[in-house]
Amino acid sequence: MSVPLIVSERSRPELSARPLSVGCLIFERMDQIDFTGPFEVLSRMPDTTIQVIAKKVAPVRDVKGLRLSPDGCIADAGLFDVLLVPGGHGQQSLMHDEAVLDLIRRHVQNERLVFSVCTGALLCGAAGVLMGRQVTTHWSARHLMRHYGAVPVDARVVVDGNLISAAGVTAGLDAALVLVSLLRGDAAAQEIQLAIEYAPNPIFHSGTPESAPADVLESFQKKYEAIGTAREKEAVRYAATYHADR
């Protein structure tokens, strides 16, 4: 069973009173809650501005058809204090997209915070920024993280220096609250939690493969098979290429 939070021994983000900027990446066939969940929290963080960016300044649709509009494009984006990298099926088509991967690399190299949600961690892996870093992602993809040199962790939220990762989908809310607590203090995070009435008390207890009924897990795995196979193939290819170049 996963734990709520793991914080590595690397230096963690420090409390700050200065204005902060957050850049949120969106793309076709993403999972919108990977973005909108954290947005609900981070948009309430005191003295913070948020910019939504995409490959082009044009609307995108999430994997279920929700229309999202960016404020600007990656090419014109500078460095943000926090870069949010969501996941979803559309992540797979960006695994070789140098504009997206360079955006992630630049933020890590300049010691800005990179916040991945769900399979956004695979994009961070493709950018080559996870070597030796502890990371979590959706349970169905967690085993792939070793191919990117990462140390996969069965946790809801992982903080490893300037990399913050959330497990699947709704874990982005938890990670966003952790991020607020690190940057603005526990009280700020708790007030936001109260404002959005974030008090999970699920009717069903099928949110992990360990707790889901066997027939529910089997049904999911059949539906996930195609994207899961594609993700594994790409992870294996990345690892082989990386070691061949060394």
Angle between helices 32-42 and 171-184 (to 10 degrees): 30
107's tokens: 């933020």
Low-confidence ranges of the chain (pLDDT < 50): 1
Q: What pLDDT, on the 0 to 100 scale, is given for residue 113?
A: 98
pLDDT at 1: 47
Structure tokens at 115: 């916040």
> Beta-carbon neighbour count of residue 75 at 10 Å?
11
Looking at residue 6, what is its pLDDT? 87
Q: What is the reported pTM? A: 0.97
- Dist. CA 115–CA 85, nearest whole Å: 6
CA of 93: how far to CAs of 65, 120, 140, 146, 162, in Å? 17, 12, 18, 20, 25
CATH number of this structure's domain 3-244: 3.40.50.880
Token couple for 148: 């990117």
CA pair distance 192, 36, nearest whole angstrom: 15
Using one digit for the tens of pLDDT, what is the confidence trace for 120-151?
999 999 999 999 999 999 999 999 999 999 99
pLDDT of residue 117: 98
pLDDT averaged over the chain? Answer: 96
Per-residue confidence (pLDDT) for residue 15, from 0 to 100:
86
Active site residues per annotation:
118
Closest among 109, 98, 67, 85 to 23, alpha carbons compared: 85
Neighbour-count burial of 199, counting CB atoms closer than 10 A to its CB (0-12 exposed, 13-18 middle, 19+ buried): exposed
Domain boundaries, the chain: 3-244
What are 133's two structure tokens?
Answer: 């870093």
